Amino acid sequence: MPFLEVNNLCKRYDATQALAGVSFSIGGGEVLGLLGPNGAGKTTTLMIMAGLLRADAGTLSCEGRPLDPTAPAYRRSLGFAPQNIAAYPELTALENLRFFGRLYGLKRSDLATRAAEILAITGLAPRQHSRVATFSGGMKRRLNFGIALLHRPNLLILDEPTVGVDPQSRAHLIGQTRALRDQGVSVIYASHYMEEVQVVCDRVAIMDQGRIVVADTLRNLLHRLDAETLVEIPATACEQLDALTQAADRVEQRGDRLVLAVRQPDDNGASGIGPAVSRLLAVLDELRLPVLSVTTKRPDLEQLFLRMTGRELRD
């Protein structure tokens, strides 16, 4: 049984239908990626799940029982790192942790220990007495993440946790997310960065225009696409186009080159040259056409998004 289920959420802001029936589930101790371009409806979904926004329709359930996302017990079990940084710029990192800790109802003795732990987890201990206004984007994001962890939630909702951060902070946040998952915390990780979702998430729900397009394990999603090998030859070979279109799945002209694409169904890009590519290379050899390059494209979520929606994931 999934830990949490989201069923058919709908939400409209005036003229905009932000969510048009969003359903997905999260298992215990897994990182679920919510991947979609800006405007897909990720933040709206997460705000509803965090009990901060009311859905027009739809329900949540936790371990099979109906869940009211505004119920205090649920709110206490949940950590939410919002897309807009929650920390107060005029307070220091430590003052922010104390403030939010009291808000979460941590006891005074626990608060000091927990704040020190969070400063260690986020790598902010050396700057704990600095005002957040003086922090880099990466440091602010790490504090935002740390605040969500203060009360030891077993469900963590992260909304674009790495926007505007340096590569080091990004790696840090990804590592800490995986560590929490290993401790049994369920995590929802919303992002429009395909690379990141691919690294950090166990399962991925791809979202577009207020709907879940597809949701599955990363492995299964990537297996939906065949690896593709691209062989480049000079565009002067156009005269032999008939033979080439027979030997390749797709032929495309790019400037002074022809790109011959061959799908490799049973190969996810791990090995270079499969039987179909060997056949194409043999044909090129027979036609005495020079090969300029051979590259194999590993299937990724970007290509899957393009396939499912007909549009690019990036802006």
Distance, in Å, from the CA atom of 79 to the CA atom of 157, rounded to the nearest integer, reads 6
186 part of the interface to ligand ADP, by CB under 6 A: no
> Under a CB-based contact definition with an 8 Å cutoff, are residues 72 and 103 in contact?
no
In terms of CB distance, is 13 or 105 closer to ligand ADP? 13
Report yes or no: 262 and 206 within 8 Å, Cβ to Cβ.
Answer: no
Classify residue 198 by burial, with Cβ atoms within 10 Å: 0-12, 13-18, 19+: middle
Beta-carbon contacts of 96 under 8 Å, excluding residues fewer than 6 positions away, are 87, 88, 132, 143, 147
DSSP-assigned letter for residue 83 = S
Contact map string, positions 44 to 73, toward ligand ADP, x by CB under 6 A: x-----------------------------
Nearest residue to Mg ion on Cβ basis: 43
* Residue 144 φ/ψ, nearest 5 degrees: -55, -40
Residues forming a β-bridge with 17: 12
Report the residue number, 40 or 124, with the smaller CB distance to ligand ADP.
40
Torsions phi, psi for 74 (to 5 deg): -70, -45
Closest distance of CB 211 from ligand ADP, Å: 11
Taking Cα atoms as reference points, which of 7, 141, 126 lies closest to residue 83?
Answer: 141
Nearer to ligand ADP, 42 or 203 (CB): 42
Q: Which does 52 bind (CB under 5 to 8 A by kind): Mg ion, ligand ADP, none?
A: none
164 is a contact residue toward ligand ADP (CB under 6 A): no
- Rounded Cα distance, 301 and 158, in Å: 20
Residue 36 binding partner per list Mg ion, ligand ADP, none, with a CB distance cut-off of 5 to 8 Å that depends on partner kind: ligand ADP
Could you say which of 6, 22, 33, 42 contacts ligand ADP (CB under 6 A)?
Answer: 42
Span near ligand ADP by CB under 6 A; candidates 31-39, 60-68, 91-99, 108-116: 31-39
43 binds ligand ADP (CB under 6 A): yes
> Cα angle at 232 between 271 and 270, to 5 degrees?
10
* 42-50, 58-66, 244-252, 280-288 -> range binding ligand ADP (CB under 6 A): 42-50
User: From CA 165, how far away is CA 284, in angstroms rounded?
Assistant: 47
Can residue 43 be called a binding residue for Mg ion (CB under 5 A)? yes
Tokens linked to 103: 């808000």
Cβ 115 to ligand ADP shortest distance, Å: 30
Q: Contact, 10 vs 165, CB < 8 A?
A: no
Shortest Cβ 272–ligand ADP spacing (Å)? 37
Two tokens, residue 255: 């400037």
- Measure the CA–CA gap between 84 and 141, rounded to whole angstroms: 9
Residues 22-41 that bind Mg ion (CB under 5 A): none
Q: Which is nearer to Mg ion, 41 or 79 (CB)?
A: 41
Figure out which of the listed residues 4, 22, 36, 187 binds ligand ADP, where binding follows CB under 6 A. 36
Structure tokens at 34: 């919510």
101: contact with ligand ADP by CB under 6 A: no
Size of the residue set binding Mg ion (CB under 5 A) = 3
| The only residue of 28, 39, 123, 269 in contact with ligand ADP, by rule CB under 6 A | 39
Site for Mg ion, residues 79 to 118, rule: CB under 5 A:
83
In this structure, what are the phi and psi dihedrals at residue 18, rounded to the nearest 5 degrees?
-75, -40
Which is closer to Mg ion, CB of 36 or CB of 79? 36
Please report, as ranges, the residues that interact with ligand ADP according to CB under 6 A: 13, 16, 18, 36, 38-44
Please report, as ranges, the residues that interact with Mg ion according to CB under 5 A: 42-43, 83
